[in-house]
Structure 1
Amino acid sequence: MENVMPYRILLYYKYVAIPDYEAFAAEHLEYCKQLGVKGRILIAEEGINGTLSGTVEQTEAYMTYMRSHPLFSDMVIKIDESEQHAFKKLFVRPKKELVTLRYNTKLDPNVISGKRLTPEQFHEQLQRDDVIIIDGRNDYEYDLGHFRNAIRPTVESFREFPKWIRENLQDVKDKTILTYCTGGIRCETLTGVLLNEGFSDVSQLDGGITTYGKDPVVQGRLFDGKMYVFDERISVRINQTDEDIIVGKCHHCDSPTDVYINCTDDLCHLQHLVCEDCSDKHDGYCTDDCKTNDLERKQA
């Protein structure tokens, strides 16, 4: 008999106009509180973006509720099984943008975005020699895991992408551009930026890395390392084959690792990759200065 885990993690988004989105956010927060789910849900005039966790019963009720709403009846919801909650708290917040970009042109993904590729199509394109593969996430997410031969973006936040594109990709505007991100939402906007900046052949991995890792045909092939996630799991395995390798390097010694921790110093909390030996050796601090300063404060 199949072992069914007691919890689920739901990942979803949809770009759709939400009238009076702030009032809707307040109503949605009350519903989620009554239901007992936890997670992070962002609601803007342009749509909704959420990741939440709950019991099987709670998540079933949430999906039924959302699919009964005329704005979200066709929204794709990705499901991961889990042994426990993936979040400690619940946040439902109104925002100006679902993905903070602050671009000089307002982009509507329903009007301008890249071609959508299925996991099988994306896998096929990855093996071409004439494509440019752009990771649409932050640099620290790339460092934990990424598609083979993808360009590492030197950005710490998504709003840095337009400048990074202008400074680094001007000589490949005539190339086929492939983009990908965790669940797909960042690429909805990133491909729009690329098209607006003069790129002509731009595609995105439909459903993001999450969908790619669940595809029964590709089984996550050509994704090296693990996928960074913004919840208590921190990382998720994507490549389900024996080709799975570790690409992360320890912050201290460069040894292979896929473990992210927060610096022990409460005034730092830098999230960094660390191997088991260095985690013990440095007591979870990212630098000797953090360790010294933290111990001095505690002894004062």
Structure 2
Amino acid sequence: MESKAYLNPQAILNIAFYRFVELKNLNDLKAELKDRGNELEIRGSILLSPEGINGFLAGEVEQVRQFFAELSARPEFPNLECKESFSSHVPFKRMIVKLKKEIITMGMPDIHPALDTGSRLEAKELKKWLDEQRDLVLIDTRNTYEIEQGTFNTAVHYDIETFKEFPAELEKRKEELKDKTVVMFCTGGIRCEKSTALAKQMGIEKVFQLEGGILKYFEEVGNAHYKGDCF
């Protein structure tokens, strides 16, 4: 598919999605998704690993919605959700499906987010907790550059450059967090979800993940208790 530019700024649908789920037969799934994406002239990338799926795709609206409907109808991905945005052009050159060890690299092969993570905390509930000034530790799992663009007013962070550095930093603080209410967040949910799985393995039991991350929080409650932008 040659790159096209459209006069209509809503002509191209961009979607982002992920799901932690135990996957098998990855080579077969890779071939099926790549072939179907090419049939529908969709571009972007999908990462597949034994721990799940992570994708960013773009194309004409009807084709992208068809692909995602078929994907979410598969037994491996029940109730799969995606974030949508629109543009006048396709930001990717081709359809790529890759097999990886992890769908978001933490470097901790013994962590299994598909089996056990922190409880999901809705945006409205987090805002309520912050309004009430509840005693909690709000942890930003993103990197230093992202945090410099903006974060929650009361958030703590660990000055990391990559997500692979997060486990060592959490390890240093696990004892002081074991008796705390801990809420972890990131941009769209994938890093904080995996981080809560790590926290639970470390014995931090009262840990929550911000459902949908900062982007979902902005959609539902605006920028209350947040300063700056989200990279």
Identity of aligned residues (%): 33
Q: Secondary structure at the residue paired with 1:76?
A: coil
Matches within 5 A, 1:122-271: 122-127=126-131, 128-168=133-173, 170-215=175-220, 218-228=221-231
- Offset, 1:205: 0.6
Cα distance in 1 between the residues matched to 2:89 and 2:209: 32
Q: What do you get for the CA RMSD once the two structures are aligned?
A: 2.1
Deviation, structure 1 residue 224: 2.3
CA, structure 1 residues 89+142, in 2 after alignment: closer, same or farther (shift >3 Å)?
farther
Question: Equivalences for 1:1-300 in 2 at 5 Å?
Answer: 5-103=10-108, 106-127=110-131, 128-168=133-173, 170-215=175-220, 218-228=221-231
Give the alignment's TM-score, normalised by structure 1: 0.68
Query: Greater RCO between the two (CA within 8 Å, min separation 6)?
Result: 2
- Matched residue count: 223
Look up the equivalent residue of 2:227 and give its one-letter code: D
Q: Structure 1 regions of 5+ residues with no counterpart?
A: 229-300
Structure whose CA Rg is larger = 1
Q: How far apart, CA to CA, are the structure 2 residues paired with 1:40 and 1:226?
A: 26
Aligned-partner residue type, residue 127 of structure 2:
H
CA contact (8 A) 1:17 1:46 kept: yes
* Alignment-mate amino acid for residue 106 of structure 1: D
Cα displacement string for residues 256-286 of structure 1 (whole angstroms, at most 9, x for unaligned residues) = xxxxxxxxxxxxxxxxxxxxxxxxxxxxxxx
Q: Is the 8 A contact 1:154 1:164 kept in 2?
A: no
**Deviation, structure 1 residue 79:** 1.5
Q: Distance in 2 between matches of 1:223 and 1:76?
A: 25
Counterpart in 2 of 1:294? none
Superimposed CA distance per residue, residues 36-58 of structure 1 (whole angstroms, 9 cap, x where no aligned partner): 22222110122111122222122
- String of CA shifts for 1:161-194, please: whole Å, max 9, x gaps: 1111123454333221111112212122100111
Q: What are structure 2's unaligned runs of at least 5 residues?
A: 1-7
> Structure 1's 37 and 226: CA in aligned 2 closer, same or farther, altered over 3 A?
farther
**Structure 1 position 73, deviation (Å):** 3.5
**TM-score, length-normalised on structure 2?**
0.87
